[in-house]
Structure 1
Amino acid sequence: MSYLTLSHLEKSFGPARVVKDFNLTVEQGEFISLLGPSGCGKTTVLRMVAGFELPTSGGITIEGQDVTHLRPNQRNIGMVFQAYALFPNLTVAQNVGFGLKVKGTPKAEIKGRVEEMLSLIGLSDLGNRYPFQLSGGQQQRVALARALAPKPSVLLLDEPLSALDAKVRVSLRNEIRQIQRELGITTIFVTHDQEEALSMSDRVVVMHEGIADQVGTPFDIYNRPATRFVAGFVGTLNTLEAKVLDAAAGKVALGGAEITLPGPLPAGSVTLGLRPEAVRLGNGTGPQLQATIKDVDFLGSVIRLRADLAGQSIAFDTFNTTKTTPPKVGETVALGLDPADLLVIGG
């Protein structure tokens, strides 16, 4: 039996259906990310799991117990909010121990658990400070410790890193994942940041207009997108129109080259997806496409180039090395690819 099960969840606000027939099973200790653009329903799903929103229909079970209609304080859920939500009049230690105090935990036990949590987040020497005396990253660590202190069954994270600067975000997401693995706590993480979802998760749920478009490992979500939306939303993707030469044999014409794909294909034309890192600059084995460089973006270790491919725009990456000068704007280059990297994009 799954540790956490969401069955046919629906949520409507008036005539608007925000979440539509949402289903998800989560195993104990899994780290699941709900990924999608603003307004796709991911936070509403999280709030239903927390008990802050009542589903219009459907059910939620945790460890086999139906919690659909239980209040938040009856679910043994830990939640970390985007805005920290720390109590400004309480010290760090008092914030971390707040949930335990509300539950009536003995003072000695609270003291020991608070010390344990502060050690876990690396703030053992800051227990007597107040939230305003901490950096944003430190405040979010305290919020995480407060959520974990009562030993919840499920940890919910609602875009907890979005208010932090880039370097702190990367550092803190690594810490969160390390702590989650160390404790083995079942976690649902809401984000609109693809890099966060792909780097932190055991599985990713890509949401679109209230539904789960695809559920899978980060590898599958990125490399085997199931829908046109997932293919376009996760990572950078070139979308190229190719003329079908032989539908049964899977032969298409693209950029002056004939390419064979797994068939059969629809007659006429087909839309293909191609990741920038799958395109090779220079002659080599496989189909060769002639393209004209239109733009060169220096991104540090990687150079992103954009080119015209028989009237279509294609972006591709090449590593930056001191021994190789990237092509210049207006230069005609040969691009190589492996047909296996081409995705036939459906609905």
Structure 2
Amino acid sequence: MNVADRATAGFRQRYGVEPAGRWAAPGRVNLIGEHTDYNDGFVLPFALPLRTVVAAAPAPDGRWTVWSELDDEPVEFGAAEADEPGRVDGWAAYVAGVVWALRADGHDVPGARLAVASDVPVGSGLSSSAAIESAVLAALVDLGGLDLPAERWPRLAQRAENDYVGAPTGIMDQSAVIRGRAGHALFLDCRTEEVEQIPFDLDGARLAVLVVDSRAPHRHADGEYAARRRGCEHAATALGVTALRDVPVAGLDAALARLGDDETRRRVRHVVTENQRVLDTVALLRAGRVRDTGPLLTASHVSMRDDFEITVPEIDTAVEAALSAGAYGARMTGGGFGGCVLALVDAGAADAVAAAVTEAYAERGFTAPGTLTVLPSSGVTRLG
């Protein structure tokens, strides 16, 4: 049974009626541009074929009830709980956070019954949280006939995660999940929120992106992510700029010389050079030179490993094994301290590269990784 049918079946079983509709939102993988989003920088994610689906219908009592296939106990809440961040916790906080963000934006949010099913792995760095937020947002906008242009959806979904759930994410995840387009990567300026759809024709180049779920436990991920963000903000203040986006590569050495400790200098160097790598990757893709982006992907990983210090042994092992097996480039993707690796490989070599990574894991006694080959897919959509 596919994920949409699972959501429908769950809705029927839980509520005893048919849903009014189903809304799907993808996970995402970031081709390049890590920890640049909250520094007002550039990112280049694309939407995945993996989906979270929400089946939903109006609830006449004006309350919200949500059921997930991952937790058979439904969660119910009303306006009082939705209007107070922290009152709804656990996975249902992502749903309540969307209700809160819409209400705070002045919308009359309809009560609803919702059922959630997902193929997006939780905790793997593929934006399962943004997927559920975006699918719920799409459902509530449609059910309520809300006047809310899609360009504003990413910011509201981000507010749900930042201010209700309490996760300090940037705007990238929600933008990719909502605004992704099949066959393209989404070039996003996180300061202006301007987007450009960049052709990412893997089939035409006879290439594939292999995603490796490292299965590494997230080690202090939340606290370390927040610490990196605070460090970048403090460095920007010390340099007298609004954000590290404003430090040009040509002026990097002079900027680093003004900072007082080596750790801060390395953090800044990663962000500034990563922004440039995004711009260089976009230029290559515009020219149809997909294969030539490989070295930039690998350079990004080295920077995350050595300067930003957010990788773990499983992640580094996957990158090294993929490169040794012939990948054109490989890097960690996501916030770090676990999650996934992506590798740019020949279309016919994906299985061999995946096998090499699995073998390297076995040699080191790591839990076997998960692997899948992906193509850029479409963003949030109503299925009917």
- Tell me whether the two structures share a fold, i.e. TM-score over 0.5: no
* TM-score category, normalised to shorter length: under 0.3
TM-score (norm 1): 0.23
Larger RCO, structures 1/2 (Cα 8 Å, 6+ apart): 2
| Structure of larger gyration radius | 1
More strand per residue: 1 or 2?
1
